[in-house]
Structure 1
């Protein structure tokens, strides 16, 4: 497999998700900001292995917003929220990132706006307003109830009645987040222009929020009940999202969005999508009519609904095989182990107190796959969920399902009272003093050092950067695969999910351990077509003597 063309930088990139409120506060107000991110860029990539070495950052929403859903309720797609800085600060962040070879992705929210967005204020002002059809309004049923049975992702009906105009408006999330009507060409044109605004300012791409919901069934019929739902499960899973999630019309709209990206060479569209491997693959489009460059596969986090994916070799092998079988050959998968909406990896897999051991192996899995990996801030030091006392909880979703505050707490830079994050009161409480960056920075055996070695080694090995994935194998404890290019040494990735040592069969006879969760094993020669893995351990083995 040949190296990708220069415009396809994303194929070899390691990306890092920054949750701006929680990364670095520069002015002591307890809220992270763009200036803080600028001050920490050398940590992310200063051009040397002392840094993490990431190639791109994705910023969770930085647009002006009333913050009903912490930025996912946008009131202006062409600005910066004052908590984070100004347009000028954003321009400087882009310039400083580019100077270090770091690309910048923003978070685009096309499904809905804030109810304080000027478009919605006009839309709800009267039924005759020119922007009335920019959102989805419907009359009540004869008994006054909502137009259909759709439920909000956060719980409750997906409709709110507007007394002034006598109609309901649709909101897939909070009532403060009305859904845009993407069947109106004016809406689509206006939203596509917001992309162009940022591309002109030098942004390298977008992570696109819940793109599978932007077009619903035009007749808005009821969703069928979910036969597997049981009382006690989250309400949103009580019905099958047949008519308002991944509706077939979405895919043509994604292709139209892609054409705007293609107006600006080198830009990348990364979609937040949910579904089966086949549904995820549809978002890539075809060679003739491309869609997203990358579509997130969250199956290492959850495969169905809210069920946590177990850390078991047969499950991991199935997820990898399904992605390889379905993603079209002109693109590649896009995996993540953590994000701002889900409990952190260490917490999800800490039932026996060994979550951080599994996190070490997970780093080698994520960075050893054929994919564009996304690392969530703090993942590289093993941050875990933080218990948030009721009086400090912020997330509006806590009223409807499960709060997401525990995985959004401030980055732990050091063990000082402000954790190196702020000189003020943080917007969310800190976790314990450990883990933090300072304690791991000089420790060659730390998780941070392992991430650094893995990312920089990935840059050195062509098979890991752009090789095919082959020889996927293993047993009930171990999963292995090979990364191969025609002209370079193959690299085997071996993951042991059991709490006992295990031998992994390699797809070649001999090689050298280039990276291991147990650093003392690095550099060792292996022969006989197998490598011994420590409990919950992992290794990268380069073929050859």
Structure 2
């Protein structure tokens, strides 16, 4: 279906009331639905292509909403679809109130939101407040008007060091590699001031000490809330406020988004005043809207600061995402998470994969200690077995969970993409992150056959591997033991089992070394992270298992890298 012509923003000024989602279950009608929600991340350019141009779009997402309803998720988070030069896959926003023509237009966004609500799904959109595109009107004017421009105060412009200002203002490095500063050429052609960009040079950081920045983003929030969205995922939520004076880091070799060190540009206490203001805006609207923070912090205790009662609702648990498939390490991070969230009354928010890290089916296929960006395929069979087990463990824990598109198919990272097709800006900057995020962004397969396995009518913006069709939704639907059917069964069980979902504690049970076992009311989860089969007590009736198990005389044989759900309810 061709995209409808791009409309101006004026075409969508009419506000409409929010259609309350038709509940998939009683849980969906609660005001605190987000405490145990399973939220599905859609990466729009790689989900579904409606017009055959090789790029996913909003109409493609809209056409596939029934699949997400039937999968059993509660909400859909859409990665950025705003007007953008696409220097960093849309995380460089040129207009926060417009849809990029590659994805459609505002009418497409409106139709998607309405259809989702009619299907009982909520819609969460990405918000990128740490930086804009260098094509954002403020920044273009700041360059055009020269050093005296008041608009430069809305970013971090500084004179350089050295005799003629030829050195960056401080020693900060970009997350994508290289200096975090770029020197501008002034209107008269002379080398001039430097501006800060923690990511690509095309992504200048806002100065959140300037009141106009806060005013603008509160207006942006209201624009999309009036459109009917149910919440916002806040990109780089920990990065908005910088330490006063922008001090040097000194000798340091870990300037990374995924690092756990204290940084003068990340997790500054001043950021919480921003979110308290945002919360007052959100609370003006009916419909239980939410914020979720992408906040990479040194500790889970620091993450808890973002979800205090008057701030945000959820914060991704990246400490959990970064944990190896090891029972002892997992239990430690689970305990610390639940203990940290309990005092602030917030749910834990578990996640295993997203668009910035290697898919967990590939992470777990490789030896431990390689981090969250891995360049080798590893042992595919081992990785998938562990990924399935890890998913059941995650979905059994108290709180909310996020699922990244394609993980329900057991998709691995595509580690052998040709260099010439890569688009991750970090790949071209050398240092910083490895720059191999394209591997988890390859368009997902819907059908066994076709030039793009059902992604669209033509090819795909990143090449899909041979054999991708056997991992497709078509191939796995109704297939006994498939990863897709495992996800569907697990999400259905979360809806029907009263002891799954929301909560703030687990009761640990005795278990062999390398095994996690815990009880939640009438529900028991056992996860074997060891490399060998183990024998455990039978804890009732098996609800679900990620692999084949055997039971004899009150004992269960749980294979290596397998998770089992039991219930004692008749």
Question: In structure 2, what is the Cα distance between the partners aligned to 1:204 and 1:132?
Answer: 33
The TM-score, its normalising length taken from structure 2, stands at 0.86
1:411 paired with 2:430, answer no
Decide which moves more: 181-190 or 134-143. Answer: 134-143
Question: In structure 2, what is the Cα distance between the partners aligned to 1:19 and 1:3?
Answer: 26
Decide which moves more: 385-394 or 233-242. Answer: 233-242
The TM-score, its normalising length taken from structure 1, stands at 0.90
1:429 paired with 2:458, answer no
CA 467–543 in structure 1, closer or farther in 2 if over 3 Å, else same: farther
Question: In structure 2, what is the Cα distance between the partners aligned to 1:384 and 1:8?
Answer: 34
Counterpart in the other structure of 1:132: 152
Task: Check whether the contact 1:52–1:451 (CA below 8 A) recurs between aligned residues.
Answer: yes
Question: Secondary structure, in 3 states, of the residue corresponding to 1:513?
Answer: strand
Question: In structure 2, what is the Cα distance between the partners aligned to 1:481 and 1:139?
Answer: 57
Question: In structure 1, what is the Cα distance between the partners aligned to 2:27 and 2:52?
Answer: 45
Counterpart in the other structure of 1:542: 567
Cα RMSD after superposing both structures: 2.2
Counterpart in the other structure of 1:99: 118
Counterpart in the other structure of 1:453: 489
Matched ranges for 1:11-160 at <5 A: 11-45=35-69, 51-125=70-144, 126-143=146-163, 144=165, 145-160=167-182
Question: In structure 2, what is the Cα distance between the partners aligned to 1:236 and 1:92?
Answer: 35
Counterpart in the other structure of 1:420: 454
The count of aligned residue pairs is 513
Task: Check whether the contact 2:350–2:401 (CA below 8 A) recurs between aligned residues.
Answer: yes
Task: Check whether the contact 2:293–2:315 (CA below 8 A) recurs between aligned residues.
Answer: yes
Task: Check whether the contact 1:343–1:407 (CA below 8 A) recurs between aligned residues.
Answer: yes
Task: Provide structure 2 residue ranges, at least 5 long, that are not aligned to the other structure.
Answer: 1-25, 367-378
Task: Check whether the contact 1:504–1:531 (CA below 8 A) recurs between aligned residues.
Answer: yes
Counterpart in the other structure of 1:498: 530
Matched ranges for 1:435-514 at <5 A: 435-473=471-509, 474-484=511-521, 490-504=522-536, 510-514=539-543
Task: Provide structure 1 residue ranges, at least 5 long, that are not aligned to the other structure.
Answer: 46-50, 303-308, 485-489
2:349 aligns with one of 326, 334, 337: 334
Question: In structure 1, what is the Cα distance between the partners aligned to 2:537 and 2:294?
Answer: 35
Question: In structure 2, what is the Cα distance between the partners aligned to 1:32 and 1:238?
Answer: 32
2:396 aligns with one of 340, 359, 368: 368
Question: In structure 2, what is the Cα distance between the partners aligned to 1:435 and 1:456?
Answer: 22
Counterpart in the other structure of 1:487: none
Counterpart in the other structure of 2:266: 245
1:211 aligns with one of 222, 237, 249: 237
Question: In structure 2, what is the Cα distance between the partners aligned to 1:382 and 1:61?
Answer: 24
Task: Check whether the contact 2:77–2:126 (CA below 8 A) recurs between aligned residues.
Answer: yes
CA 234–212 in structure 1, closer or farther in 2 if over 3 Å, else same: closer
Deviation, structure 1 residue 543: 2.1
1:277 aligns with one of 288, 300, 303: 300
CA deviations 1:81-118 (Å, max 9, x no partner) are: 11111100000000110001000000000000000010
Task: Check whether the contact 2:398–2:506 (CA below 8 A) recurs between aligned residues.
Answer: no
CA deviations 1:514-543 (Å, max 9, x no partner) are: 11123676xx7995xx64322211111112
Question: Secondary structure, in 3 states, of the residue corresponding to 1:299?
Answer: helix
Counterpart in the other structure of 2:7: none
1:257 paired with 2:278, answer yes
Deviation, structure 1 residue 364: 0.6
CA deviations 1:267-314 (Å, max 9, x no partner) are: 1000001121111111112x4xx2110010122332xxxxxx321111
Counterpart in the other structure of 1:48: none
2:419 aligns with one of 390, 414, 419: 390
CA deviations 1:150-194 (Å, max 9, x no partner) are: 111001111111120721111110010000111011110111110
Question: In structure 2, what is the Cα distance between the partners aligned to 1:236 and 1:357?
Answer: 29
Deviation, structure 1 residue 225: 2.6
Counterpart in the other structure of 2:373: none
Give 4+ residue runs of structure 1 displaced > 6 Å after superposition.
2-5, 233-239
